[in-house]
């Protein structure tokens, strides 16, 4: 594996990096929420890591952090230097957990790569870290930083006039690279080259002053000086391969991608500015400053919680670069939202922005513009209509100034490869709320897009009143005797989920919460259920509108509109489709009655639905009138699998400093008789219904966008229907017969209408 192992120090995240080879081979698997626990805490189980011999500095009280030689860093948040230390650490290390008083970080090769790519130099990193540390820095850590960064930032990938160049101020480094078979094969030798065949040009040196406040003058060594840049050209088709060869687990010269947009005279400028009322918040400003730190645009990922204003960051980036921009979203609804955001925040003229989905195949006028589309539209491999073929051709041929990618965490690596190989862009910006995937394929993003440029601290945003302060609660609903007896029976193994979701006690808790929040507080409520059977049962019984995969775009819009404006519609039931594609800023309560096993990402995404801050800023600020203004309830049936999953699901949010309060007595006993299923007979009738439903009927809803690998492989099924691929039409949200483990079968899913889910049968008419 990597050199981290050679040093005998098991760097956790590094293993993830080395894993990427494997994960490439195992594309076909779905996102695996059941899979191995990659929890950072679980390393070296039970062993105490003893660093008590580290020497404390005499003034250690005034310094905010401890650094251990295995890369772990502890930061006191009550230190007066916290803000500076946080900004610095988030640049050089991966946050492990960030609750209120003490943060933990991990130094990893990837995080150091990110640090170097935002312009921090090895010596600066060590000097600042040493300044902040309570102890003398462990020698191993210094060595590790040296080793990890020695090669970083030396090689850049530059796109000039539609040709890719590998550029470096050090010709010997380029020679090292060319000794690699893969890279030398990818090289395109130009005519008239001299000597070693490298082209030589002048490039600007780094100007970086972000952490100056922590260093004295002498230490700010990074001076702007002109350096000679040597370069050779490579085959565009091989770009990804070359980048991959340069990663730490291979040649270890990770490439930085930068775009000197100000000096780009080839690509036409796009006339767009931020409107004056678009005032980026401090953390948005900071994330942008990381991206544009040296006057060029860096490729990378910005991580902000949902509702914290990711779109403004995206639009601002596009406005700074002022070149053509390709914006990729996950589905047609968010395409509309992005287009809206561009018009809302920037002065872009209507004819310069266009949407490309199955429904609207617009084209911008002039020689530069913004195109908003979905990943599926670009990556689609099948036959296209003539019209969209033309648009795709245009997208392919254009040299994009900015490739703006929304929700990068949900799109599989494979899809990225395709999108990135199809489009040529100078700079890629990925936006996401949660950089977690259960399959740890997140590390792929590091080379596909770039390093993480910035990650906001959720609690700080809550304290600043930028996102809602959410009270999270886990409601324990004991299984009723009858349901539990069935749950334990072997022959019901396929119905387990349905049984614990339909648990009458859970239903009653849900009903109680809905009543309470609708009546007592006048809140707007979303109820999430992954299980379609439960979703319909609950929604029907409680007479609330519901949206799931098969709900048409028109109907969705109608329901959401009613939810937003009508006083009578305060609760909406959503299936998985609501996890991230539907924007419902009005909602401030979430009740989750079933979920996708142990997926931490889903939990965070769902929470994100209610994070958009509401009301007056001063009320939300620390010490303001409202302590909590949003509520997240997760209902779990005790003594079932759900308990285990729910602990796992919450891990990400807990690491961000959220805490789940356990509620054990819902509904309160005096409310009991007013709710449904109060009588045993009703409960037994419900039980009978669950048991009599077919096994497929009670399974999980499977959406294509979650199972993209599968969707792509079985693309032929929806051949000719662009709308399906863009997610605009209901058809895209197909229901798969059983749980995710049957992934292989899904590929060969027959089109036989008789086997369609009963809910779909209605939609497709009698067969």
Partner 1 sequence: MPEVRIIAKNFMDMVASMPAMKLDKLYENAFICEAILRSLPPLAKKYVLQLLHIDGPVSAKLLAEWVLPDGLSKHKVAIDRLVQLRVFVEALDRKNEKTYKVNSTYQRSLQNLLVHGGTLPRESMPSNITVRLLTLEELETYALTQWERFLLQLISPSQVDKNLNISSSLMKVFQRRLLSQRDREAPKLTESGFQFLLMDTNAQLWYIIREYISNSEERGVDAGDLISFMLELSFHVIGEAYNTDTLTDFQRNIIKDLADLGLVKLQQGRKESWFIPTKLATNLSVSMTESSSRKEGFVVVETNFRVYAYSTSKLHCEILRLFSRVEYQLPNLIVGAITKESLYNAFENGITADQIVSFFRQNAHPRVAQRIPAVPENVTDQIRLWESDLNRVEMTDAYYYDEFPSRDVFEGACDCAREWNGLLWEDSKKMHLVVKSEVHPYVRDFLRRQK
Question: Which positions lie near partner 1, rule CB under 8 A?
Answer: 41, 46, 48-56, 60, 66, 68, 72, 74, 78, 97, 99-102, 104, 134-135, 654-655, 657-662, 664
Classify each residue of 70-109 as buried b or exposed e, where b means 16 or more C-beta atoms within 10 Å of its C-beta: bbbbebbbebebbebbbbbbbbbbbbbbbeeeebbbbbbb
Give Cα separations from 399 to 113, 349, 358, 490 (angstroms): 27, 21, 23, 59
**What is the DSSP code string of 694-742?**
-TTTTSB---TTTSHHHHHHTGGGGTT-HHHHHT-SGGGSPPPSS-GGG
Q: How far is the CB of 511 from partner 1 (least distance, A)?
A: 24
Q: How far is the CB of 78 from partner 1 (least distance, A)?
A: 5
Q: How far is the CB of 615 from partner 1 (least distance, A)?
A: 24
The smaller minimum CB distance to partner 1, of residues 611 and 690, is found at 611
Q: How far is the CB of 76 from partner 1 (least distance, A)?
A: 8
The smaller minimum CB distance to partner 1, of residues 76 and 583, is found at 76
The smaller minimum CB distance to partner 1, of residues 65 and 435, is found at 65
Q: How far is the CB of 628 from partner 1 (least distance, A)?
A: 13
| Spatial separation of the C-alpha atoms in residues 147 and 556, rounded to whole Å | 54
Phi, psi dihedrals of residue 382, rounded to the nearest 5°: -80, -165
The smaller minimum CB distance to partner 1, of residues 122 and 469, is found at 469
Q: How far is the CB of 543 from partner 1 (least distance, A)?
A: 34
The smaller minimum CB distance to partner 1, of residues 142 and 291, is found at 142
Strand order in the sheet with 546-547: 546-547, 571-574, 525-528, 589-592, 630-637, 470-477, 660-663
Q: How far is the CB of 135 from partner 1 (least distance, A)?
A: 6
Q: Which of 291, 287, 311, 292 is nearest to 300 (CA)?
A: 291
Q: How far is the CB of 472 from partner 1 (least distance, A)?
A: 9
| Spatial separation of the C-alpha atoms in residues 338 and 638, rounded to whole Å | 41
Give Cα separations from 37 to 33, 471, 600, 606, 646 (angstroms): 9, 27, 11, 21, 14
The smaller minimum CB distance to partner 1, of residues 49 and 564, is found at 49
Q: How far is the CB of 28 from partner 1 (least distance, A)?
A: 35
The smaller minimum CB distance to partner 1, of residues 54 and 215, is found at 54
Contacts of residue 97, defined as CB under 8 A and 6 or more positions apart, other chains included, come to 103, 104, 654, 655, 656, 657
- Return the DSSP state at 257: E
Query: Is 222 in contact with 284 (CB distance < 8 Å)?
Result: no
> 748-751, long-range: CB within 8 Å, 24+ apart, which pairs?
749/714, 749/717, 751/717
The smaller minimum CB distance to partner 1, of residues 47 and 543, is found at 47
Q: How far is the CB of 79 from partner 1 (least distance, A)?
A: 10
The smaller minimum CB distance to partner 1, of residues 408 and 473, is found at 473
Neighbours of 693 (CB within 10 A): 16
Which element (helix H / strand E) includes 423?
A: none
The smaller minimum CB distance to partner 1, of residues 338 and 487, is found at 487
The smaller minimum CB distance to partner 1, of residues 644 and 764, is found at 644
Q: How far is the CB of 274 from partner 1 (least distance, A)?
A: 37
Query: Is 421 in contact with 240 (CB distance < 8 Å)?
Result: yes
- Return the DSSP state at 361: B
| Spatial separation of the C-alpha atoms in residues 415 and 709, rounded to whole Å | 8
The smaller minimum CB distance to partner 1, of residues 54 and 675, is found at 54
- Write out 157-219 in H/E/C secondary structure: EEEECCEEEEEECCHHHHHHHHCCHHHHHHEECCCCCCCCCCEEEEECCCCCCCCHHHCCHHH
Q: How far is the CB of 133 from partner 1 (least distance, A)?
A: 11
The smaller minimum CB distance to partner 1, of residues 153 and 657, is found at 657
Q: How far is the CB of 301 from partner 1 (least distance, A)?
A: 24
| Spatial separation of the C-alpha atoms in residues 440 and 443, rounded to whole Å | 7
Q: Which of 36, 40, 24, 25 is nearest to 108 (CA)?
A: 40
Q: How far is the CB of 256 from partner 1 (least distance, A)?
A: 34
The smaller minimum CB distance to partner 1, of residues 78 and 754, is found at 78
**What is the DSSP code string of 76-116?**
ETTSTTHHHHHHHHHHHSEEEE--SSEEEEE--HHHHHHHH
The smaller minimum CB distance to partner 1, of residues 31 and 104, is found at 104
The smaller minimum CB distance to partner 1, of residues 101 and 189, is found at 101
Q: Is 75 helix (H, G, I), strand (E, B) or coil?
A: strand
Q: Which of 294, 333, 297 is nearest to 314 (CA)?
A: 297
Query: Is 73 in contact with 93 (CB distance < 8 Å)?
Result: yes
Q: How far is the CB of 101 from partner 1 (least distance, A)?
A: 5
| Spatial separation of the C-alpha atoms in residues 639 and 759, rounded to whole Å | 31
Neighbours of 48 (CB within 10 A): 7
Residue reference for tokens 């009963």: 758
Query: Is 257 in contact with 118 (CB distance < 8 Å)?
Result: no
Pairing of the two strands 660-663 and 470-477: parallel
425, β-bridge pairs: 400
Q: How far is the CB of 86 from partner 1 (least distance, A)?
A: 16
Q: How far is the CB of 83 from partner 1 (least distance, A)?
A: 17
The smaller minimum CB distance to partner 1, of residues 454 and 660, is found at 660
Query: Is 64 in contact with 132 (CB distance < 8 Å)?
Result: yes
Q: How far is the CB of 425 from partner 1 (least distance, A)?
A: 38
The smaller minimum CB distance to partner 1, of residues 134 and 596, is found at 134
């Amino acid at each position: 594996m990597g050199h981290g192992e050679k040093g005998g120090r098991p760097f956790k995240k590094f293993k993830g990096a080395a894993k990427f080879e494997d994960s490439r081979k195992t594309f076909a698997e779905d996102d695996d929420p059941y899979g191995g626990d990659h929890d950072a805490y679980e390393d070296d189980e039970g062993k105490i890591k003893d660093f008590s011999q580290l020497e404390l500095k005499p003034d250690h009280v005034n310094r905010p952090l401890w650094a251990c030689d295995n890369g772990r860093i502890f930061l006191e948040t009550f230190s007066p230097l916290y803000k500076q230390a946080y900004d610095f650490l988030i640049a050089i290390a991966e946050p492990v957990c960030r609750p209120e008083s003490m943060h933990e970080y991990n130094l990893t090769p990837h995080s150091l790569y990110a640090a170097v790519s935002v312009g921090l130099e090895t010596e600066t990193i060590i000097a600042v870290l040493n300044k902040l540390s309570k102890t003398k820095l462990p020698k191993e850590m210094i060595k590790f930083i040296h080793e990890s960064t020695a090669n970083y930032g030396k090689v850049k990938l530059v796109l000039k006039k539609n040709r890719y160049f590998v550029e470096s101020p050090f010709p010997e480094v380029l020679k090292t690279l060319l000794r690699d078979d893969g890279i030398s094969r990818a090289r395109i030798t130009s005519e008239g080259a001299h000597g070693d065949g490298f082209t030589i040009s002048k490039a600007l040196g780094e100007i970086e002053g972000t952490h100056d406040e922590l260093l004295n003058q002498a230490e700010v060594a990074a001076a702007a000086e002109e350096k000679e840049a040597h370069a050779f050209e490579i085959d565009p088709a091989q770009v990804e391969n070359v980048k991959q060869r340069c990663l730490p687990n291979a040649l270890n010269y990770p490439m930085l991608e930068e775009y000197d947009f100000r000096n780009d005279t080839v690509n036409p400028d796009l006339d767009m500015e931020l409107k004056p009322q678009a005032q980026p918040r401090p953390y948005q400003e900071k994330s942008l400053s990381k991206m544009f730190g040296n006057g060029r645009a860096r490729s990378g990922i910005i991580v902000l919680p949902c509702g914290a204003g990711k779109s403004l960051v995206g639009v601002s980036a596009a406005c700074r670069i002022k070149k053509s921009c390709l914006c990729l979203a996950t589905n047609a609804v968010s395409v509309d939202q992005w287009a809206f955001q561009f018009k809302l925040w920037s002065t872009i003229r209507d004819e310069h922005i266009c949407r490309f989905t199955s429904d609207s195949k617009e084209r911008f006028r002039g020689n530069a513009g913004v195109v908003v589309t979905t990943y599926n539209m670009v990556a689609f491999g099948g036959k296209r209509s003539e019209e969209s073929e033309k648009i795709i051709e245009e997208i392919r041929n254009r040299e994009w100034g900015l490739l703006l990618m929304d929700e990068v965490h949900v799109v599989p690596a494979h899809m990225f490869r395709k999108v990135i190989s199809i489009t040529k862009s100078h700079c890629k910006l990925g936006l996401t709320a949660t950089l977690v995937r259960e399959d740890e394929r997140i590390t792929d993003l590091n080379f596909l897009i770039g390093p993480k440029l910035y990650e906001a601290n959720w609690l700080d945003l809550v304290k600043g009143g930028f996102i809602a302060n959410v009270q999270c609660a886990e409601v324990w609903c004991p299984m009723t005797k009858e349901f539990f007896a069935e749950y334990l029976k072997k022959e019901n193994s396929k119905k387990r989920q349905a049984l614990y979701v339909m648990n009458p006690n859970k239903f009653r808790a849900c009903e109680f919460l809905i009543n309470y929040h609708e009546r007592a507080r006048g809140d707007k409520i979303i109820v999430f259920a992954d299980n379609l059977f439960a979703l319909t049962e609950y929604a029907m019984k409680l007479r609330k509108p519901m949206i799931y995969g098969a709900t048409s775009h028109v109907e969705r819009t109608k329901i959401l509109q009613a939810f937003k404006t009508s006083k009578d519609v305060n609760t909406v039931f959503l299936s998985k489709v609501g996890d991230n594609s539907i924007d419902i800023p009005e909602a401030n309560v979430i009740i989750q009655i079933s979920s996708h096993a142990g997926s931490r990402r889903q939990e965070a995404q769902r929470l994100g639905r209610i994070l958009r801050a509401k009301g007056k800023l001063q009320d939300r600020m620390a010490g303001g009138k409202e302590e909590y203004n949003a509520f997240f309830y997760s209902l779990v049936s005790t003594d079932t699998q759900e308990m285990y999953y729910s602990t796992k699901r919450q891990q990400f949010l807990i690491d961000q400093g959220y805490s789940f309060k356990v509620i054990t007595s819902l509904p309160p006993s005096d409310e009991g008789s007013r709710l449904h299923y109060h009588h045993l007979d009703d409960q037994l009738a419900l039980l009978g219904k669950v048991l009599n439903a077919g096994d497929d009927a009670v399974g999980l809803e499977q959406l294509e966008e979650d199972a993209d690998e599968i969707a792509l492989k079985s693309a032929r099924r929806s051949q000719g229907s662009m709308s399906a691929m863009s997610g605009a039409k209901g058809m895209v949200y197909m229901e798969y017969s059983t749980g995710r483990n049957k992934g292989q079968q899904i590929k060969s899913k027959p089109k036989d209408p008789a086997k369609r889910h009963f809910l779909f049968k209605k939609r497709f008419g009698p067969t």
